[in-house]
Amino acid sequence: MDTEKIRRIDETKIEIPIDYKQGMRVKGIIYVDETLQKDLEDQSIDQVANVATLPGIVGSSMAMPDVHTGYGFAIGGVAAFDLKDGIVSPGGVGYDINCGVRLLKSNLLREDVLTKMKDLVGILYNEIPSGVGSKGRVRLGPDDEKKILLKGARWAVEQGFGDASDLEKIESGGCIDGADPSLISKKAYERGRAQQGTLGSGNHFLEVQYIDEIYDEKAANSLGFFLGQVTVMIHTGSRGFGHQVCTDFLEVMEKAAAKYKIELSDKELACAPFSSPEARDYLAAMRAAANYAWANRQCIMHWTREAFFKVFSISPKKLGMELIYDVAHNIAKIEEHEVNGRKIKLIVHRKGATRAFPPGHPELPEIYKPLGQPVLIPGDMGRASYVLLGTEKAMKETFGSTCHGAGRIMSRHQAIKKAKGRAIWREMEDKGIIVRSAGRETLAEEMSEAYKNISDVVEVVHKAGISKKVARLRPIGVIKG
Say if residue 456 is in the same domain as residue 470.
Answer: yes
- The reply to whether 156 falls in a domain is yes
Q: What is the pLDDT of residues 189-247, one digit of tens each?
A: 999 998 999 998 888 999 999 999 999 999 999 999 999 999 999 999 999 999 999 99
Say if residue 280 is in the same domain as residue 186.
Answer: yes
Which residue of the set 68, 404, 413, 462 is catalytic?
Answer: 404
- Rounded Cα–Cα distance for residues 302 and 157 (Å): 9
Greater confidence (126 vs 140) lies with 126
Residues, the chain, total? 481
Say if residue 327 is in the same domain as residue 338.
Answer: no
Chain-centroid distance of CA 140 in Å reads 25
Say if residue 197 is in the same domain as residue 281.
Answer: yes
The number of folded domains in the chain is: 2
Say if residue 183 is in the same domain as residue 169.
Answer: yes
Q: The domain that contains 306 carries what CATH number?
A: 3.90.1860.10
Say if residue 433 is in the same domain as residue 297.
Answer: yes
pLDDT above 90: residue 420: no
Say if residue 358 is in the same domain as residue 228.
Answer: yes
- Rounded Cα–Cα distance for residues 428 and 406 (Å): 18
Contact 24, 39 (CB under 8 A): no
Say if residue 189 is in the same domain as residue 229.
Answer: yes
Q: What is the pLDDT of residues 75-122, one digit of tens each?
A: 999 999 999 999 999 999 999 999 999 999 999 999 999 999 999 999
- Rounded Cα–Cα distance for residues 455 and 461 (Å): 10
Query: Domain ends where: 351, 379, 399?
Result: 351
pLDDT above 70: residue 472: yes
333: exposed, middle or buried (Cβ count in 10 Å: 0-12, 13-18, 19+): buried
Q: How far from 152 is each of 1, 173, 299, CA to CA, in Å?
A: 44, 9, 11
Q: What is the pLDDT of residues 168-191, one digit of tens each?
A: 999 999 999 999 999 999 999 999
pLDDT above 80: residue 135: no
Say if residue 11 is in the same domain as residue 42.
Answer: yes
Contact 47, 69 (CB under 8 A): yes
- The reply to whether 209 falls in a domain is yes
For the question of residue 404 being annotated catalytic, the response is: yes
Contact 398, 80 (CB under 8 A): no
Query: Domain ends where: 351, 378, 413?
Result: 351
pLDDT above 70: residue 425: yes
pLDDT band, residue 136 (cuts 50/70/90):
low
Query: Domain ends where: 351, 384, 411?
Result: 351
- The reply to whether 347 falls in a domain is yes
Q: Which residues contact 397 (CB under 8 A, 6 or more apart)?
A: 464, 466
Say if residue 325 is in the same domain as residue 338.
Answer: no
- The reply to whether 255 falls in a domain is no
80: containing domain: 3-95+334-351
- The reply to whether 258 falls in a domain is no
- The reply to whether 343 falls in a domain is yes
- The reply to whether 254 falls in a domain is no
Query: Residue range 52-74: average pLDDT?
Result: 97
Say if residue 244 is in the same domain as residue 362.
Answer: yes
Q: What is the pLDDT of residues 6-15, one digit of tens each?
A: 999 999 999 9
Say if residue 71 is in the same domain as residue 113.
Answer: no
